[in-house]
Structure formats: C-alpha cells, structure tokens
Amino acid sequence: MTRALFIVDVQNDFTEHGALGVAGGDEVAERISRYLAAHASEYEIVVASRDWHDGDNDNGGHFAPEGPDFIDTWPVHCVGGTFGADYDEGFDTTAVTHHLKKGQGKPAYSLFEGVGDDGVTAAVLLEQHGIHDIDVVGLATDYCVRASALDALAAGRGVRVFSDLVAGVHPESSAAALAELAAAGAEVEPAQA
C-alpha cells in the first residue's frame, strides 16, 4: 500500500458545539468513523491533525477575540488541552496511526504544518512509508482541508478529496475550494463507502 488518509481537524471547536462550528461537522465526524471502520486497512498510514493553539498569547496574530475578520483572524479556538481542541466525540480515532498538532504559537492551516509529539512531520511520514497517494477528509473544506490538499499536491502526491467527508465554513467558499483543488489536479469525489 502506498496510500495515506489525512483527517484534518475533526475537533470540537470546529463542530456544531464549538467556537468555530461548521454546519454538518458532527455528521462528518461520524461519517469519517464509518468510513474508517470499512476502509482503514486500505491505508498504509492514517494521519489526523488538530489545531493546538497556545492559550496565553494571540498565536502570531491568529486570535483576535475583540474583532476577528474570519479570514485571517479568528476568535479563540482549539487551545491545547481544552475540550475545544479534543477530537469530536463522533470521530473514532482507533485506526489513526499518527496524530499531528499544528498552530502552536502561530497561524497554521495545513496538516503539513503539524508535528507529532515525537517531532515527526507529515513530510517525514510520507517519505518513511513510501506514500504516493493521499486521500483528504475533515474540517473545514474552505480553510484547513483546502490548505492540506494543496500542500499534498505541491509535494507531488496524487490527491483525492472525498466531498462527502468534508464540511466548510461557507457554502460558496467551500464550493470554490473544491473547484480550485480539482483545477490543481486533485480528484474530488464522494468516498466509496
């Protein structure tokens, strides 16, 4: 197997009950769990990322609690060690082989900006495991899923984004992100559940 599954930021703060909840986030978490139950064995590695921001600073201007623009600045979210940073309860992480944390003290959107507790990065994992193709799912379509898939393409990998295993902040920007990814060479299609 030379395929990896990247699961982006399926966290409480990005699902309905969180600081930056997206519509359909809980449902996507549950769908990803069902997909993993049926397909985890098809992947060499299953990598899940989480925003893991510092709680005592603005994370390089990423947090703007008084007046976020919801483009580059955001309300406080996914502070490491809090409920908001935890994986959504509907996401069964049993099949996840690697966990990466991103945004520690700085803005970070792509899973490729994450690092494991052991210091490993996504780029290192891809090389170590001989990964040629990456499937991308998670939250949010128009931000972190988009950034992760674009970085996977830039790394020369074949990329599929499963359109039924993502949810975004805005319908228009999510549709634009999927169109951009398709134009950049990603396959955008529903998962084969």
Least confident interval from 18-27, 58-67, 162-171: 58-67
| Rounded mean pLDDT, 148-174 | 97
pLDDT tens by residue, 45-59: 999 999 999 999 999
pLDDT of residue 178 exceeding 70, the answer is: yes
| CATH number of the 3-53+79-189 domain | 3.40.50.850
pLDDT of residue 193 exceeding 80, the answer is: no
What are the residue numbers of the active site?
A: 9, 102, 144
Of 171 and 17, the structure prediction assigns the larger pLDDT to 171
Query: What is the share, in percent, of the chain residues with pLDDT greater than 70?
Result: 98
pLDDT tens by residue, 106-140: 999 999 999 999 999 999 999 999 999 999 999 99
Over the chain, what HEC string results?
A: CCEEEEEECCEHHHCCCCCCCCCCHHHHHHHHHHHHHHHHHHCCEEEEEEECECCCCCCCCCECCCCCCCCCCECCCCECCCHHHCECCCCCCCCCCEEEEECCCCCCCCHHHCECCCCCEHHHHHHHCCCCEEEEEEECHHHHHHHHHHHHHHCCCEEEEEEEEEECCCHHHHHHHHHHHHHHCCEEECCCC
Question: Predicted confidence band at 70 (pLDDT cuts at 50, 70, 90)?
Answer: confident
Average pLDDT of the chain is 95
Domain edges within the chain: 3-53+79-189
Question: Predicted confidence band at 1 (pLDDT cuts at 50, 70, 90)?
Answer: low
